[in-house]
């Protein structure tokens, strides 16, 4: 039992005065207004139209209608005592075709959000790319086309000039291993491509864009705090068998290290020599220098741990993840294991890199099957989840890990990609028929915690 539990006293003061507390969202998951204000189509607009892609045929055309309701939702953030708000910019709302003519209505919209945040004493944190690539760029190859580095540079420059006078905190990419792996290898996310011939160039170009975005922001925005976010899971072998241990190491490289270590200047970690040879086809002379950038923080996004076994049938990785529902462990609506120590373990792992000066937890939360009863949502399981994970964050911080912020995922129940509206992550419930917001018990707890 840790010190916090012994004393039964747990509040934000334990983390120190300068610790950053916030809540996170993303444009496609909450904005709606898919064809409003000059916005062009994104890959998720198109992917959602394809039959069988999204659970129950759901789509993000309206979702939480944040586009029209942002003022009220920002008032909710203020009411919940949350001082920092992480949201993303929709690339296709700024550049409807991905490149070329700038959509002033899109610029004006995000300026309104930023200005409203500042008026309310809420610090805006911007994510530049949260998976919604303009469809017209995907038609040119998307992340598999090396030209995307130049397309992305143009987009970053526009955002930096438009918003950099008021926004200090920036994240370049959101979970690049997820959008390249799920979108360009497994095909379960937009744009629905499959295979190594799509995944490897997408991975490499995203690594280059990640570093380039950091350089561009730091060159334009004075005193900017710039980072990127990585989806991290604590990886453990199924048992002490050597093959299982080696399989777990390979999964750890893929999930936790593939985008981080090139950014640090260490190059790509090696999973398998043949896989490295295939990846090398896309690496041009000088790329190892271009993959590195001087960042201010790493955003880590942790929800669970994964248990790994050796598998002869998985090419290169020779590994498979044993799903949580087959292990008789507590799970969320996403079938993710509830394992608070996972966030402690990834903090220790990332904190061991000497090059990392600061860690911000840019996402942590849980999906459950929340319902409104008598105009209340008694999601005490989420409150318990948040409190237990935060205790592990405090444990790591007390041990010297440079973790300096924590953002809950998410403010609102939203469109959860291929899962549709079924998994509810919000600390605020959304009735997608009426758009009524109801603060959940977890939201009320977080409000008191931050008071």
Check: CB of residue 278 under 8 Å from CB of residue 318. Answer: no
- Active-site hit among 138, 175, 306, 416: 175
Q: How far apart are CA 421 and CA 379, in angstroms?
A: 17
Q: What tokens were used for 67?
A: 């586009």
Handedness of CA 316, 319, 320, 321 (dihedral sign): negative
Residue 269, class by beta-carbon neighbours within 10 Å (0-12 exposed, 13-18 middle, 19+ buried)? middle
Distances (CA, A) of 147 to 36, 166, 200, 238, 281: 28, 30, 15, 42, 16
Which residues lie below 8 Å from residue 82, measured CB to CB, with a gap of 6+? 21, 22, 23, 122, 446, 450
Three-point CA angle 406, 224, 404, nearest 5°: 20
Cα gap 63→204, rounded to integer Å? 32
Residue 54 near residue 20, CB atoms below 8 Å: no
Nearest to 20 by CA among 409, 403, 320, 416: 403
Q: Which residue has the tokens 């919000």?
A: 426
The dihedral region occupied by 435, where left means phi > 0, alpha psi between -120 and 50, and beta the remainder, is left
Q: Would residue 175 show up in a list of annotated catalytic residues for this protein? A: yes
- Report yes or no: 121 and 83 within 8 Å, Cβ to Cβ: yes
Q: Active site residue: 138, 225, 363, 416, which one?
A: 363
| Alpha-carbon span 419 to 53, nearest angstrom | 9
298 pairs with which residues across the strands?
228, 359
Q: Is the dihedral of CA 46, 52, 54, 58 positive or negative?
A: positive
Catalytic, 363? Answer yes
Burial of residue 7, with CB atoms counted within 10 A of its CB: 0-12 exposed, 13-18 middle, 19 or more buried:
exposed
> CA-CA distance, 73 to 85, in Å (whole number)?
11
In this structure, are strands 123-129 and 319-322 parallel, antiparallel, or unpaired?
A: unpaired
- Residue 173, H or E segment: strand 169-173
Catalytic positions are 175, 363
């Amino acid at each position: 039992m840790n010190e916090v539990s012994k004393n039964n006293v747990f509040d934000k003061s334990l983390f120190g005065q300068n610790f950053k507390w916030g809540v996170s969202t993303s444009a496609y998951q909450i904005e709606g207004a898919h064809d409003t204000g000059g916005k062009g189509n994104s890959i998720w607009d198109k992917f959602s139209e394809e039959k069988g892609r999204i659970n129950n045929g759901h789509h993000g055309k309206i979702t939480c209608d944040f586009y029209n309701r942002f003022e009220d939702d920002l008032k909710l953030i203020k009411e919940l005592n949350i001082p920092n708000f992480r949201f993303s910019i929709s690339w296709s709302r700024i550049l409807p075709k991905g490149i070329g003519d700038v959509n002033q209505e899109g610029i004006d919209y995000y300026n309104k959000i930023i200005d409203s945040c500042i008026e309310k004493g809420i610090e805006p944190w911007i994510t530049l790319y949260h998976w919604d690539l303009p469809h017209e760029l995907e038609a040119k190859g998307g992340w598999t086309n090396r030209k995307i580095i130049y397309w992305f540079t143009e987009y970053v420059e526009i955002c930096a000039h438009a918003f950099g006078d008021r926004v200090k905190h920036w994240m370049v990419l959101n979970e690049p291993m997820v959008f390249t792996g799920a979108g360009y290898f497994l095909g379960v996310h937009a744009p629905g491509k499959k295979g190594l011939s799509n995944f490897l160039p997408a991975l490499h170009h995203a690594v280059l864009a990640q570093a380039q975005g950091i350089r561009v922001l730091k060159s334009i925005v004075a005193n900017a705090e710039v980072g990127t976010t990585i989806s991290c899971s604590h990886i453990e072998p199924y048992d002490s068998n050597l093959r299982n241990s080696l399989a777990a190491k390979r999964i750890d490289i893929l999930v936790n290290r593939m985008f981080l270590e090139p950014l640090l200047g260490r190059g790509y970690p090696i999973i398998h020599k043949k896989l490295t040879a295939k990846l090398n086809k896309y690496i041009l002379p000088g790329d190892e220098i271009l993959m590195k950038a001087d960042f201010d923080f790493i955003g880590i996004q942790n929800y669970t741990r994964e248990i790994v076994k050796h598998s002869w049938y998985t090419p290169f990785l020779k590994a498979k993840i044993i799903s949580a529902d087959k292990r008789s462990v507590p799970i969320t609506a996403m079938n993710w294991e509830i394992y608070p120590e996972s966030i402690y373990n990834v903090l220790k792992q990332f904190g061991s890199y000497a090059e990392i000066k600061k860690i911000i937890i840019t996402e942590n939360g849980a999906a459950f099957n929340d319902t409104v009863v008598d105009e209340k949502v008694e999601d005490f399981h989420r409150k318990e989840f948040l409190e237990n994970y935060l205790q592990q964050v405090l444990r790591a911080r007390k041990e010297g890990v440079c973790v300096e912020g924590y953002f809950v995922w998410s403010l609102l129940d939203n469109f959860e990609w291929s899962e549709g509206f079924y998994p509810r992550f919000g600390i605020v419930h959304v009735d997608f028929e009426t758009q009524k917001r109801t603060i959940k018990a977890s939201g009320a707890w977080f409000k008191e915690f931050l008071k």
